[in-house]
Amino acid sequence: SYELRQPPSVSVSPGQTARITCSGDALPKQYACWYQQKPGQAPVLVIKKDSERPSGIPDRFAGSTSGTTVFLTISGVQAEDEGDYFCQSADRNGTYWVFGGGTRLTVL
């Protein structure tokens, strides 16, 4: 099997920058993407292919990578950004498709 590791929670004040990490051994080889999920709603894709922003996603959302870690950075965090964030990728061979455990972003 394969795992993606995320911190359970991140807290930030409005207007500050939030950075959420996702670690996995295969991330240098496999693209990652990120989803935002609010209570009672389906996930929404906010970053694809490590750093591409789908249409309609505000430019305060950015994705980046460094080695075995990918990052979701939210600049100028707003109250509406509060929710759960999940990374998604696959193992080195593309056999196991996995989601991270999720990070709850709290806007203080």
Partner 1 sequence: DVQLLESGGTLVQPGGSLRLSCAASGVTFDNYAMAWVRQSPVKGLEWVSAISASGGVTYYPDSVKGRFFISRDNFRKILYLQMESLRVDDTAIYFCAMMSGAGFADLHLHSWGQGTLVRVSS
Which positions touch partner 1 (CB under 8 A)?
A: 31, 33, 35, 41-45, 48-49, 54, 86, 88-90, 94, 96-99, 101-102
Of 7 and 43, nearer to partner 1 (C-beta) is 43
β 103-107/9-12 pair status: parallel
Considering the complex, what minimum distance in angstroms separates the CB of residue 7 from partner 1? Answer: 14
CB 81 within 8 A of CB 17: no
Please report how close the Cβ of residue 70 comes to partner 1 at its closest, in angstroms: 13
CB of 13 to partner 1, least distance (A): 27
Of 23, 98, 96, 93, the C-alpha closest to 65 is 23
Do residues 26 and 2 lie in contact, with contact meaning Cβ atoms separated by under 8 Å?
yes
